[in-house]
Structure 1
Amino acid sequence: MSLDSDQEWAPPGVDAERPSVARVHDALLGGLENFASDRSVARRLKDAVPEVVDLVWCNRAFIGRVVDFLIREAGIRQIIDLGAGLPTVENTHEVAQFADPRSRVVYVDIDPMVEPHARALLNGNPYADAITADARDVASVLGHPALTRLIDLSQPTAILAIGLLHLFSDQENPHGLIQRYVAALPPGSYLAASNFVASASPKSKALEALLQATMGTGYFRDKAAIAAYFDGLVLVDPGVVHFPEWRPDDRLPGPLAPWEELLLGGVGRKP
């Protein structure tokens, strides 16, 4: 599957000619679970923003710090990872279960390739699973048998919506979507969310234009709109910030690079 060819084999339900966010992400990381259409988009993204691979790894590092906080400091033991993408290093369940082996994680992605690969990685892990579902269908996600087997929604739970919400247009109402997920969770639950940030930066404008041209999606929002994802929640310090600024493992060496200013994220607790 990793070799360019006129006809690439694809599992049932997967259109190899149509690039997928999960598979483009995999291609940027040098993975093998992608097609020529995905690699073409990845090359164009790297041409437009050469630091896009650094940006992807920055995203992974942010997720790792968020999950570590949720388990070690917030006392969360249940995580639903929306738009999880294809497995890579330091996956959500690995970080969570390193902190507490009893942590339960369910991965959710609309790409049919994600579930079998995630389950192969899980290798019978009794406290983690993956499902194929559209994150926009809240009832189907939260009512999925594989999710309800692991996640007790009467107990505090964390929703990860990192790298997901910028895929939805304003007409799809990502703010309302997040509110429906949060409404289904008990007090003491958490939301971690992010979005590409709209700015006058040439890199920001180039990346947004290319994402919409190649993927038909990619909606950058200002800081106020991103902060609105956390309406009704208590923001965890340091609030909604650029990824490297959210509880960094090391002291920031200085001003952020332009590519580090492309994403904003934060974590909020349901009171």
Structure 2
Amino acid sequence: MSDNPEIDRKVPNVARIYNYFLGGRDNFAADRTAAESVLSMAPEVRAAALENREFLVRAVDHVARAAGVRQFVDIGAGIPARRPVHQVAQRVDPAARVAYVDNDPVVLAHARALLGRGRGTTVVQGDVRCPEAILAAPGLAGLLDLSRPVAVVLIAVLHFVPDSDDPAGIVRRLLDRLPSGSHVVITHLSDGGVPGDPRIARVRQVYGGRLFFRSRAAIGALFDGLELVEPGLVGVADWRRSWSGAQGTSWWLAGVARKP
């Protein structure tokens, strides 16, 4: 990674920690130390992160292929990983367009270097808590036609939004501004039905308390007013997977829904 005055190598960064879980190289010693602290408490987190990424690929392919959506907004996109959204969507239709959105300067620096030059893509600075500003951003509005269906991708982002900022309301505000036939793709950390699991408190501590494990009911509420695509709200490894085998980890729940 190149030097950047906005990047503090000594402070762990959420995006870089996740990059480490995925086996990426865009991370520093502080990020690796924090990630290994999480893995020491919950070794399955690495597998869960990889399952989360594979779900994203399957979900985007489904929305593009089966639902015919050709426009995507990836909010909280994170450091670019293998098979980013535009590559998956453009495999279905080379004319598909994707706006990547993040408020993290680390992510923006990487995304603009690696994604902003791609055909049919743009990189926009924006905060998920301000959905109206995201959809009105000139870079996004210049690429996407918001009068036509759009898929909003919220992978591993809403569990960083506290209840006081109303994550379900954020989803509603995003979809309210999009036409019928639009979709939302969400993954969220679950408390596994055991909110008192001591590992949750320890993992939250690593993230400075800015990580919110929610119940299945609370995650399900993110899709209120929308039509959940089969098989509904399930573990990330179990959403339309084409293979059989061991059950996936229980840390993440995932769903895809359509606006009626």
CA contact (8 A) 1:10 1:16 kept: no
* Superposed CA RMSD: 1.9
What is the correspondence of 1:53-92 to structure 2 with a 5 Å cutoff? 53-92=46-85
Segment drifting more, 190-199 vs 156-165: 190-199
Unpaired runs of 5+ residues, structure 2, are none
How much does 1:206 deviate?
4.7
1:263 is matched with which residue: 248, 252, 259? Answer: 252
2:200 corresponding residue in structure 1:
208
Aligned-partner residue type, residue 37 of structure 1: A
Q: How far, CA to CA, are the matches of 2:41 and 2:10 in structure 1?
A: 22
2:24 corresponding residue in structure 1:
31
In the alignment of these two chains, the number of paired residues is 259
CA contact (8 A) 2:52 2:187 kept: no
What is the correspondence of 1:94-109 to structure 2 with a 5 Å cutoff? 94-109=87-102
1:127 is matched with which residue: 120, 127, 137? Answer: 120
How much does 1:267 deviate?
0.8
1:43 corresponding residue in structure 2:
36
1:88 match: secondary structure: coil
1:113 match: secondary structure: helix
CA contact (8 A) 1:29 1:53 kept: yes
- Measured against aligned partners, the alpha-carbon deviations of 1:70-109 in whole angstroms (never above 9, x if no partner) come to 1100000000011110011111111111111111011111
Aligned-partner residue type, residue 63 of structure 1: L
How much does 1:123 deviate?
6.3
- Measured against aligned partners, the alpha-carbon deviations of 1:216-246 in whole angstroms (never above 9, x if no partner) come to 2221111111111111111111111111211
1:152 corresponding residue in structure 2:
145
Identity of aligned residues (%): 40
How much does 1:64 deviate?
0.3
Q: What TM-score comes out, normalization by structure 1 length?
A: 0.89
Aligned-partner residue type, residue 198 of structure 1: D
CA contact (8 A) 1:49 1:206 kept: no
Q: How far, CA to CA, are the matches of 1:210 and 1:100 in structure 2?
A: 44
Unpaired runs of 5+ residues, structure 1, are 2-8
1:235 aligned onto 2:228 = yes
Q: What TM-score comes out, normalization by structure 2 length?
A: 0.93
Aligned-partner residue type, residue 197 of structure 2: K
**Deviant stretches of 4+, over 4 Å:** none
